[in-house]
Homo-oligomer: A and B are copies of this chain.
Amino acid sequence: MSNPLIRKLEAVVDFTDRDRAVLEQVCKSTQPIAAGRDIIRQGDRPNNVHLVLDGVAFRYKVMRNGGRQIVAVLVPGDFCDLHVAILGEMDHSIGALTPCTLAVIPRETILDLTERHPRINRAMWWATLVDEGTLREWLTNIGQREAAEGLAHIFCELLLRLQSVGAADANSYPMPLRQNDLADVLGMTSVHVNRTLQALREAGLIVLERRRLTIPDVDRLKEFCGFDPAYLHLRPRQPEAVG
């Protein structure tokens, strides 16, 4: 199977064969991790950067009172902790939602990629800026959308992101997040997530059973929550604009 990082980045940058070879090489060293285990913890200053090759992971912050905020979901092709290469210290933790395979990349290798491989540097810029855009969208999920809309929005986002790495079919995918996790994504209670999910089910917008989410009418769900995929920047770039 093809490397999900290359697959993802090639959506926006035309790599040379050499670029591809470099990236393949960089992902050579892998490490499995069990569901529920932490990949890296807040405050760590590791010497390696991790990349998800397979499985689903998530970033989270833990509060004084024990509360937890999930701040990102990571699918194959996503970097876990590019920050540590440049910032040094993790300001949050990362855990595995499902069993994962990670690529383990020395910090120096990342710095070398950014300095000596312009197309790879640019592709990594792109990936980071998309992550930032996703965070902005999540902020509006919590801040502006109703509970049901926020859930629907997350479901739409995951559909597209999983599709883009071949981990979802046209309208369904295995849901990596439990109700408890969804609650911590949206800053609400699992009890309320449960009731909101029931409302979405009764409206015929989703089918969620046995940890598999099916969206009977994707366009209807998108319409319901005002989902605009622009922030994911999934499609290849278009010609230059005028300004």
Pairwise interchain contact A237-B88, C-beta atoms closer than 8 A: yes
Pairwise interchain contact B187-A142, C-beta atoms closer than 8 A: yes
Interface bracket on A: 35 or more
Pairwise interchain contact B132-A128, C-beta atoms closer than 8 A: yes
User: Which residues of B are found within 8 Å of A125, using beta-carbon distances?
Assistant: 86, 114, 125, 128
From B59, B115, B243, contact of A121 by CB (8 A): B115
Closest CB of chain B to A153's CB: distance in Å?
A: 11
Pairwise interchain contact B61-A136, C-beta atoms closer than 8 A: yes
Given A135-B136, A139-B139, A187-B142, also A91-B230 (CB < 8 A): yes
Closest CB of chain B to A130's CB: distance in Å?
A: 7
Pairwise interchain contact B140-A69, C-beta atoms closer than 8 A: yes
Pairwise interchain contact B71-A139, C-beta atoms closer than 8 A: yes
From B86, B114, B132, contact of A135 by CB (8 A): B132
15 of the cross-chain contacts (CB-CB < 8 Å) are A48-B243, A61-B136, A61-B137, A61-B144, A69-B143, A71-B139, A82-B129, A83-B129, A83-B132, A87-B129, A89-B241, A115-B118, A132-B135, A135-B136, A142-B142
